[in-house]
Structure 1
Amino acid sequence: MKFNLVPAAAACAAAFFMATPGEAQTDLIEVDVELVLAVDISHSVDEEEARRQREGYVAALASPEVIDAIQGGPWGRIAVTYVEWADARLQRPAADWALIDSEEAALAFAAQVAAAPLEKGSYTAIGSAIDDAVTRIETNAYSAPRMIIDISGDGPQNQGMPLEVARARADEAGITVNGLPVITEGQTLMRAEINLAGYFQDNVVTGPSSFVLPARTEEEFRQAILRKLVLEIAGAEPSPVELGLLP
């Protein structure tokens, strides 16, 4: 569990963070949101789907809407990491924790995500991905009033830490888990045909104001990522139409 230590001014945060060699780190850099973007690269995610996910996040991270949402917060900055996951042993940061407080910083982070090599995993261990993301938030160099795990996936869990255990750990840490189910047509040996949005709602998301925004087509996927990031950064909630509660 991290402790929030609020300095007198935002400019002092980075200075307080610097410690001499061997000195224990006790001060954290204050941001508006700590955000883990956890993206499914399990075997059921084909090459086209993987490309679509990566490009959608890169475009959203570099968009004026996301940059405006970041700069509109009380501190005007967020901490974000982009982690690709699959089975219980595969959680790989394509871009490690970064402080985003400007268009330049957002573009640099998006470029780092775009340039990372794309790996493929086997099973779908959603609970292990959530557990890994909680650890990343609890051990980073930042402190925020809102901590969010944004997890995408195209199928249900079939391996790894039980989801109820992972969600309980996120709840205990005060971390919200939001879901972006990637809904595709048809059924394969690696992708069960289920109501994926309902599965994410019932088994994956948790925490204050948590929500699920499903995506189907490539354009819908890009829009969902952009909308989801803006909502999470701004601390807002999706409309009933976006949630599929109204036509």
Structure 2
Amino acid sequence: MAVFRPAIASACDVALLLSVDVSGSIDRGEYRLQVQGIADALRDPEVADALLLGQVALSVVQWSGTAQHTQVLPWRRMLAPKDTNDFAIRAERLARAYSGSDTAVGEAIAYSAGQFAAVSDCRRKVIDISGDGPQNAGFPLAPERGAAERAGIEINAIAIEDVGRANPITEFYRRFVITRNGFVITARGLSDYPRAIRAKILREIAKPLG
């Protein structure tokens, strides 16, 4: 196995903020699937290697309705295997910040975008937002997406759909949430979230070797 010895902590390739929906449509079991999915993704050898190679900075935000958004895990640079393992442990032990409330996606984006001042030296800044419903509270989405894009922040999404053929949440995130160079990955129900978050993180941080 390769041994990663980053020369300096400032050589950060990506600042990746995982912005997690904990609104009223997410029940207790579904919440556990999300945080466990994040932890399992970080323990995946391919993901862990990519995090270390890019000296990625990670943070987690939980969000719900109006004025309900909290940075539950502060920024941490992935400089050694211990960092990825510790972050995974903390992610799977996360208490839920909110429950039983609305879905204020615009406010989630605005709050998430404001967290990047602490990692201004990272080359790319990415909000990785997940949710299972369209906006039904808070201020308008378009200005917040536009402000994030002008600040050089990329927004990608995991759309959590009901099992079936329709994709209304995927289309909502594609049309109204992601930035021009962003992408959406669809999770077919919360049970598909662990696969989706692994695929999404790899797409965001992996870079060719050689």
**Structure 2 counterpart of 1:215, one-letter code:** A
Q: List per-residue Cα deviations over 1:139-162 (Å, max 9, x = no partner).
A: 214412211000000000011121
What is the CA–CA distance in structure 1 between the aligned matches of 2:71 and 2:162, rounded to whole Å?
25
2:101 paired with 1:126 = no
Counterpart of 1:216 (choices 185, 188, 196) is 188
Higher relative contact order at CA 8 Å, sep ≥6: structure 1 or structure 2? Answer: 2
Counterpart of 2:47 (choices 66, 71, 75) is 66
* 1:27-176 correspondence runs (5 A): 29-73=10-54, 77-121=55-99, 122-137=101-116, 139-176=117-154
Greater strand percent: which structure? 2
Alpha carbons 2:15, 2:119 under 8 Å: kept: no
What is the CA–CA distance in structure 1 between the aligned matches of 2:135 and 2:29, rounded to whole Å?
21
The alignment-based identity, stated in percent, is 34
Q: Secondary structure at the match of 1:200?
A: helix
**Structure 2: gaps of 5 or more residues:** 1-5
Q: Which of structure 1's runs of 4+ aligned residues deviate more than 4 A?
A: none
Q: What corresponds to 2:175 in structure 1? A: 202
Give the 3 Å change call, closer, same or farther, for CA 33–52 of structure 1 in structure 2: same
**Structure 1 counterpart of 2:13, one-letter code:** D
Q: Secondary structure at the match of 1:213?
A: strand
1:199 offset after TM fit, Å? 0.9
Please report the TM-score for the alignment, with normalisation by the length of structure 1: 0.76
Please report the TM-score for the alignment, with normalisation by the length of structure 2: 0.88
Alpha carbons 2:68, 2:98 under 8 Å: kept: no
Alpha carbons 1:94, 1:112 under 8 Å: kept: no
Alpha carbons 1:175, 1:207 under 8 Å: kept: no
Q: List per-residue Cα deviations over 1:53-78 (Å, max 9, x = no partner).
A: 111011101211111112333xxx01
CA RMSD after TM alignment: 2.0
**Structure 1: gaps of 5 or more residues:** 1-8, 14-28, 187-192, 237-247
Alpha carbons 2:35, 2:94 under 8 Å: kept: no
Structure whose CA Rg is larger: 1
What is the CA–CA distance in structure 2 between the aligned matches of 1:142 and 1:174, rounded to whole Å?
11
Q: List per-residue Cα deviations over 1:70-98 (Å, max 9, x = no partner).
A: 2333xxx0111011100121112221111
Greater helix percent: which structure? 2
**Structure 1 counterpart of 2:172, one-letter code:** Y
The number of residue pairs the alignment matches comes to 201
What is the CA–CA distance in structure 1 between the aligned matches of 2:184 and 2:167, rounded to whole Å?
15
